[in-house]
């Protein structure tokens, strides 16, 4: 089994941005289809996808373990969830914004996510793709 590789034009938020979301309080309950990297082990460029067939989540007494099933090409059986960084998808980021999400706008070569700030004003968060714009909007709300 090898990590799933995404093309450069596939929308995936950066590990740095995902780490900032995690540090700001975004919590991950791993589920099939979720993307993640194994942080600080020289594997930040390898994006893994939780799959009931190859990568699943096991609830151990010490916390969630992300298990690699049938790994014949390399020796990685499992890693603790805290050793990973979740790369949430656009739909997951939008869901995390909840009722504060107002709209997604296209602007030039990028996108803006408009949200209601904690003080009731509309704020626009801009980036090169929708997924990253959603992440920036959520980071602003979590950090407020």
Q: What's the whole-model pTM score?
A: 0.79
Q: Is the pLDDT of residue 93 over 80?
A: yes
- Name the CA radius of gyration of the chain, rounded: 16
Mean pLDDT of 72-94: 83
Could you give the CA distance from residue 120 to residue 108 in angstroms, rounded to a whole number? 27
Residue 143 pLDDT level (bands cut at 50, 70, 90): very high
- The per-residue pLDDT for range 7-63, each reduced to its tens digit, is 334 557 999 999 999 999 999 999 989 999 998 777 778 888 887 776 778 888 999
- Tokens describing residue 62: 């010490």
Chain mean pLDDT for the chain: 86
Mean pLDDT of 108-121: 96
* pLDDT score for 79: 84
* pLDDT score for 73: 47
């Amino acid at each position: 089994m090898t990590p799933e590789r995404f093309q450069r034009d596939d929308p995936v938020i950066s590990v740095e941005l995902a780490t900032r979301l995690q540090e700001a309080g975004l919590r991950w309950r791993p589920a099939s289809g979720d993307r993640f990297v194994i942080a600080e082990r020289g594997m930040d460029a390898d994006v893994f996808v939780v799959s009931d067939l190859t990568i699943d989540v096991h609830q151990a007494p010490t916390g969630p373990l992300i298990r690699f099933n049938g790994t014949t090409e390399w020796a990685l059986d499992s890693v603790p969830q805290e050793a990973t960084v979740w790369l949430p998808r656009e739909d997951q980021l939008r869901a995390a914004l909840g009722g504060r999400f107002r709209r997604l706008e296209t602007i030039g070569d990028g996108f803006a996510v408009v949200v209601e700030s904690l003080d009731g004003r509309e704020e626009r968060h801009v980036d090169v793709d929708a997924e990253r714009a959603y992440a920036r909007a959520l980071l602003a709300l979590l950090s407020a």
